[in-house]
Structure 1
Amino acid sequence: MSYITENTVWPTATLLKPEIQDLIRHFYVLADLPDPQAGVQYAADIFTPTGVMKGPFGPADLYVGTDEIKKSKLNAWGAITSRRHRIKRVFVADEGGHDLMLIGEVDLGLKNGKSITNEYAARMLVDQDIIYEGHPRLSLSFVWSDTSPVMAALK
């Protein structure tokens, strides 16, 4: 099992399909991969063609559709040397297990030698039409995080 989800508390009222758990795990494996081309994999493996990916850093961190998502990680490693996401808890907002909220934390190694752990919350919507084909995809990933500690550590 991956470190990303080894201590995750998964919901018990609505069981998440293993395919959805794998999709979430793969999303964060790609997030932790220090490859500026990881966005290409996000577009191919994670999101629907019209998917929306919103990171924590404001309007410049919004990517809509395959072409934009492919470019989403081109500058993601400018000031960062390492990322290690850990999902603490997953909440389900619907009976099908398609509307999810995640709480987690990420350890960041910075190029200036500092390191920081930052908490985040994320909403993920699994496309209900595609889930039944056995290869779920996200139509939305939206991240909230107080990025001020990260910005302060970068100084």
Structure 2
Amino acid sequence: MASSTSEYASEYPANVSFDPAFKKFFEDFYAVSDTPDAHERYVTFFMPDATLVMASKKAVGSDEILALRKGLWEKVSSRVHRPLKIFPYGPNSDQVMLHGTVRYGLKAGGDASVDWAAYARLAKTGDGKVKMGFYQVYLVRFFSLLLSLIFTLSFLWL
């Protein structure tokens, strides 16, 4: 897997070609995602009619995405995404699965870390800008993952 030097660079399968503009898009997107007051800029990474699903919250269109984004910062003072790996659906695909971690600084004190996975569908506008038409994030808390593994393994031993 190859990666670049950006703080938000991900690993990609070495044998699958992927548009460099899409790679740069994700690096820029997660940098803005981690900037507390960049709500309006965050929305510019989405098509005007895009759908964003963040765990159990769904937003459709720029206004709803902006409201959701602001809500994501209500209890959080900082966040640091680490998009570890991005898997295109095939050569030159505009669809990807992503895996990473995020560390939150909480306004109430302390911090928390969560693993996440996501699905994204990308598009280029008429002027060549990359945007997302659909983005869904799945958050994985350690204990729910552990319980899920225990439950799955218990069936294997029956």
TM-score range, shorter chain: 0.7 to 0.9
| Percentage of pairs with the same residue | 24
Matching residue of 2:148 = none
Q: How big is the shift at 1:70?
A: 2.5
Q: 1:145 aligns with which of 129, 139, 150?
A: 139
The residue type paired with residue 89 of structure 1 is K
The residue type paired with residue 21 of structure 1 is K
Q: How big is the shift at 1:80?
A: 1.1
Instruction: For CA contacts below 8 A with separation 6 or more, give which structure has more relative contact order.
Output: 1
- Gaps of at least 5 residues in structure 1 are 150-155
CA displacement, residues 45-68 of structure 1 (integer Å, 9 cap, x when unaligned): x11121111112x1xx21111221
CA displacement, residues 77-125 of structure 1 (integer Å, 9 cap, x when unaligned): 2211110000111111133221100000001111222112210001110
Matching residue of 1:30 = 32
The residue type paired with residue 24 of structure 2 is D
Whether 1:2 and 2:6 are equivalent positions in the alignment is yes
Matching residue of 1:43 = 43
Q: How big is the shift at 1:72?
A: 2.4
For residues 18 and 115 of structure 1, do their structure 2 counterparts lie closer, same or farther at Cα, with a shift above 3 Å needed? Answer: same
For residues 132 and 94 of structure 1, do their structure 2 counterparts lie closer, same or farther at Cα, with a shift above 3 Å needed? Answer: farther
The residue type paired with residue 65 of structure 1 is G
Runs of 4+ in 1 over 3 A off after TM superposition: none
Q: Distance in 2 between matches of 1:107 and 1:34?
A: 14
- Gaps of at least 5 residues in structure 2 are 144-158
Q: Distance in 1 between matches of 2:24 and 2:94?
A: 13
Structure ID, larger Rg: 2
The residue type paired with residue 139 of structure 2 is S
Matching residue of 1:153 = none
**CA RMSD after TM alignment:** 2.0
Q: Distance in 2 between matches of 1:2 and 1:107?
A: 18
Q: Distance in 1 between matches of 2:84 and 2:121?
A: 18
The answer as to whether partners of 2:22 and 2:130 remain within 8 angstroms in 1 is yes
The answer as to whether partners of 1:92 and 1:99 remain within 8 angstroms in 2 is yes
The answer as to whether partners of 1:41 and 1:70 remain within 8 angstroms in 2 is no
Partner of 1:74, secondary structure, is: helix
TM-score (norm 2): 0.78
